[in-house]
Structure 1
Amino acid sequence: MTEDAFEFDARSAPWRGPDAREWIEWRLAEAEVEAGQAARALATQMAAMADVLAEAERHPEVFAIFDGEPTADDLRVAYDAAVADLAVRLSVAEGTVALMAHQARNLRTRAPLTWATFREGDISAANARKLADVLDSLPVAASCDSDLDARAVDLARLAPARFAERMRTLRERLHPRALEERHRDAAASRRVVREVEPDGMAWLGFFLPAAAAQAAWERIDAAARHLAVPGESRSLDELRADVGADLLTGFHDPETAPRVTVGVLVPMMTLLGLSDEPATLEGYGPIDGDTARRLAAHAPSFHRILTHPVSSTVLDVDRATYRPPADLTRWLRLRDGTCRFTGCGRAAKNCDLDHTGDWAKGGRTAAGNLAHLSRRHHTLKHRSRWRVEQGPGGILTWTSPTGHVSTSDPPPF
């Protein structure tokens, strides 16, 4: 049945026909067809990413600046510049570009059956990429590649969670190395991850050896349950979160807590309680006025920078020296928040403060000529064919080695 067989009715269902079952079946079929097309499109995109990065390695002169034969470091710069070019064009993270290209190479070379099935749209992107990740966790010369490849095609129609479970089980059976050795290597990748969320909230996650994670959970859970007495208004989840935060921030023992410094930018009228304009927490973004006033009043480790009550700006003062003084550095760190390369989220405090126009060529040490760049993007600015200009308001315009022009997110102030 074709879409034209139904009468469009914008007030209720998108399409209205005499037989509801027939309409449902048609829409189900449409969803299924589109799922296949989406998988095919993503496979094509991943292949294109892998091809671009491969060409950057074969022809580094397109992306990097060097004399004579390229060194290993020149090749790395060219590769990073190509990754950045793709990321800006596609509006995705550079890590995502590198990962998707790597997954495409993995599937092409180590799982040709699954790759062909993916290109035909007969396995979901989630399942194909999961297999790529599993292959990546196995030695490159593993003899089990063909077994995993064939099994993945057989299980292609499973839901992603079930498919991932089957792949993990197969991996454990087929892995040539002992689990003890693999655990020692995996423990070296333990880390803490923070993800910003709306409404003044954020996630904080720990990737730990299972024994340590379980012990930490048991301690937090036990303390939370101890606090869950009659009359306590917080839920058990809220109590666990509060206990964990207290342990990490040192609230339970201020004398032994490590001293940390965080910037909070508070509009003057908000500080006085005469406005609800949000303040800005360094490394996070907007926070509510009540929280900002509490931090400004009671937290000596917070630097307070008060902005103009009308224009919300800090007056710029030109500097005659190369290194910006502490007050200007602090203001720029709060202004930028993150690396100013398009799409990069590295916190400004972990970046280099770069003169957009080289200081050696007359560039001023002033807010209008300074911006935070991660070490990676600072290197690309100087050693690759990426170019940047800073305009009024601190807005940066980047031009990629292949001519794509993008404007980085302007600072919030």
Structure 2
Amino acid sequence: MAQRTDFDLDLEERRRLLDGWVATRRQIAALEAESYALLVERIAVHDSDVSDSPHHREAIYRSMVAEYSAAGRISKGSVEYAFTDARTVARSLPATHAAFAAGAISARHVHEIVRASEVVDDAIRDGRVDADTMALYDTAVLVVAEQDTAPRTKAHAGQVAAALAGETVVEQHRRAAAERCVTVRSVGDGLAALTAILPEWVAVAISDRLAQMARHIARTRDEREPVLAPICDPEGSLHLGDLSPEDPRYESYFEAAAIAADGTHVSDPLAGLIDPMADPASPDIEHLPGDARTFDQIRADVLADLLLAADPSEANGTGLENISARIQVTVAARTLAGEDCRPAELDGHGPLDPDVARGLAGRRSGWARLFLDAQGLVRETDSYSPTEQMRRFLRARDQHCRFPGCRMPVHRCEIDHNHDHARGGRTRLDNLSHFCTTHHSLKHPDIDERHRWTARQTSDGSLTWTSPLGRDYIDPPRRRVMFV
């Protein structure tokens, strides 16, 4: 029998801690479900109070929310959301309720599932779909919720709700667009939160353009020393750089700080035709400090520059005018041609108004036609080639980093050979996938094997990540076929 090493014991301890943490998280979720059950009971008391005093409905509700907010030291809005989630799950989403009670999903998952269910609920109340449509939604969302993060559940739930409710989501988006606004809220210490409520595709594009511009500034800020322009530069002035050392006027510059173009000595520097500030070594010139801003600070400054001056400040970065925002949209050919009005998809986020998708398609080139198999998985694109077309295929398939739960969009990721190219891995679609910088580095060969992850891809495009503890975590590819 092989003797157990210190490394084996260390791995066992790490696994014990991980298993304990996962088990505790499940217990927390189960306890959250119990707290929701108590909220449902409280709602019943509230309804009874309202039936006895219908004219005081608002006061009864406000009093209930205020009491729970004070007792739990939770904001009013969070308490209201909790009551809404508890009531909806208990009354309309039995499968979600059971998964929550078992600790299989968290309260954050429940919140996202409930929010998306409102689209289906509206369609049922308006008579556009049958009442049993909610049961289909309840079952479908758990396919992802029990295996993935709450943000991915949100995107999946939105797609399921849109498909089941038909065109309701399009109408909802158009109504919501009328509510776009900009607000300012003080957050203290001389700061304020500027909030813009915009169509999602616009907000995503703005965020992407800000990120691109900030990266450009951060990448090039060490290539220059920013300086302020000279205070004055009279027309026809002659600068030191215009003279050779042999020119008799060259020495006069240092004697008087200014000379006329014909070599005449000028005692008043402001009347001179050579500007002393043209010399970078002049003590009179003002040098700006080096750019030491963080990435988030640069993004905030660029946003302010764009809104206030319509152009990023040249003091800390130029060459940004050609940067365009990027978003990725999936739309069926029939919808693009105007033959139906099914929602398109803003990849990684959710449904998109088909009119917006058609407008984007009319203004941009580079759209790729996707060929799907029976399960809805992307297999190839048109005009396939081993280079750029492979990248287009991978962008369409992956949408975001393929580490489980990560939603970093593909244009901010790197394409990785899952089986290292240096070790014989081939440049094939079933060996390539997008990883963000953080997760890509996890499998880098320079990392000690005790901390290194591995990733392998199966024929269906699923990625299996194996942790240093030997645990497998699977990230399946996004599916395109939804419920009809």
Question: TM-score normalized by structure 2?
Answer: 0.40
The structure showing larger relative contact order (alpha-carbon pairs under 8 Å, at least 6 residues apart) is 1
Q: TM-score, normalised by structure 1?
A: 0.47
Larger radius of gyration: 2
